[in-house]
Structure 1
Amino acid sequence: MASRRAGAKTYEQVGLAAWQATEKVNAELFTLTYGAIVRQVLADYEDCVPEANAKLDAMGRSIGGRLIEEFNAKNEQQRCVDFRDTCETIAGVALRMFLGVGGHCADWNADHTSCLVVMETNPLADFVELPERYRDLSYGQMLCGVIVGALEQVQTRATCEWEKDALRGGDGFAMRVTLVGQIDTPYPFDD
């Protein structure tokens, strides 16, 4: 989808420029390292899938809180003006910048506070087959946590969950991102 700003580059163009300017890590190493993290979390929680999902989400929130600084430093696009612009930036720029995959927003609700961020592919899920006992594992939950954690750092409270997950029988990969509200930050000075 093209940018809604007149004369601005499209989200895809900005994302590709950010991807080209970012130092790369071997994709297979990245995927296997992520898999080792998920396996260790499952071992730490004695294969309790709900607890593992919660831990992956918490780890992602922590990562997102740090990645937003790098994103803001390297992103040549103007500041997002609303939640729709923010989600388009996540899908078109951030996913490309950090994972090397494109995405787009779809299935917006009427007031533009909820959408699907549809990914072309999910590099975290390469080489992965979930055994039946882990059918409820949200394998990529860390990515949802990253989005929520990054948004919290820019005073936006949101939820994110996998709505389509090919590892659990879905037809592709899509996360539902929903705006909960803005985070009020108290002004630290008495004026």
Structure 2
Amino acid sequence: MSRPAHRRPEYHKINKDLFVLTYGALVAQLCKDYEKDEDVNKYLDTMGYGIGTRLIEDFLARSCVRRCHSYSEITDIIAQVAFKMYLGITPSVTCNNSSRNEFSLILDKNPLVEFVEELPAGRSSLCYCNLLCGIIRGALEMVHLAADVTFLQDRLKGDSVTEIGITFLKKLDERKYRRKK
């Protein structure tokens, strides 16, 4: 059966609660599979990196953002557009150094921990939301920016805020990524 020409295709969005619960089940399974928190953290980062390298295409197509000219602009776009688009929140941005290559995203509310009250017993170095760091790092790499992305503070660990640190390392060589014509 064909679709009438005047109708737009319907896009189904995953229910946020379902995503958060599924993510919690994933982290719980990883904690069972790996003894060390560092291994779980690395797995979540790697998984996020893979998501970020693919998600950037959707982001660029849907957001219509223009080319950024500074790290500050890039961080603002991540906070005000990307986080809003995919997680429904808008973190605040602070610059952490005079060379303007280190920034923090302060999350007042973290949707990934909506149903989590505390980290599992004996898992004090678990970075529960490390997936977010990998996503940001992967997306930035796909637009030719190398960055170190880590959690600096986490409410699940008793900190007063949740803070993600982004340190821009260098601009990657675009020639290596260009297609041959």
Give the TM-score range, shorter chain: 0.7 to 0.9
User: Which residue of structure 2 lines up, in the alignment, with residue 68 of structure 1?
Assistant: 56
Q: In structure 2, which of residues 4, 21, 24 is the aligned counterpart of residue 32 of structure 1?
A: 21
**Match runs of 1:29-108 below 5 Å:** 29-45=18-34, 47-108=35-96
Secondary structure, aligned partner of 1:132? coil
Instruction: Tell me, in whole angstroms, the C-alpha distance in 1 between the residues paired with 2:40 and 2:175.
Output: 34
Q: TM-score, normalised by structure 1?
A: 0.82
- Show CA shifts across 1:132-184 (max 9, x none): 30111000000000000000000000011111100011112110100111111
Tell which deviates more after alignment, 144-153 or 69-78: 69-78
What percent identity do the matched residue pairs reach?
36
User: Which residue of structure 1 lines up, in the alignment, with residue 7 of structure 2?
Assistant: none
Asked if 1:144 is matched to 2:123, the reply is no
Asked if 1:184 is matched to 2:161, the reply is no
- Show CA shifts across 1:50-106 (max 9, x none): 111001000000000011000000013322222111011111110010111111211
User: Which residue of structure 2 lines up, in the alignment, with residue 126 of structure 1?
Assistant: 114
Instruction: Tell me, in whole angstroms, the C-alpha distance in 2 between the residues paired with 1:107 and 1:88.
Output: 11
Secondary structure, aligned partner of 1:161? strand
Query: Please, what is the CA RMSD of the aligned residues?
Result: 1.8
Query: 1:38 is matched by which residue type in structure 2?
Result: V
Kept after mapping to 2: 8 A contact 1:91/1:118: no
Q: 1:23 to 1:110 in 2, by over 3 A?
A: farther
Query: 2:61 is matched by which residue type in structure 1?
Result: A
Kept after mapping to 2: 8 A contact 1:156/1:182: yes
Query: 2:36 is matched by which residue type in structure 1?
Result: C
- Show CA shifts across 1:3-57 (max 9, x none): xxxxxxxxxxxxxxxxxxx854322211101111111222222x31111100100
Kept after mapping to 2: 8 A contact 1:103/1:118: yes
Q: Give 1:186 shift.
A: 3.1
Q: Give unmatched runs, 5+ long, in structure 1.
A: 1-21
Secondary structure, aligned partner of 1:162? strand
Secondary structure, aligned partner of 2:89? coil
Q: TM-score, normalised by structure 2?
A: 0.87
Instruction: Tell me, in whole angstroms, the C-alpha distance in 2 between the residues paired with 1:64 and 1:132.
Output: 30
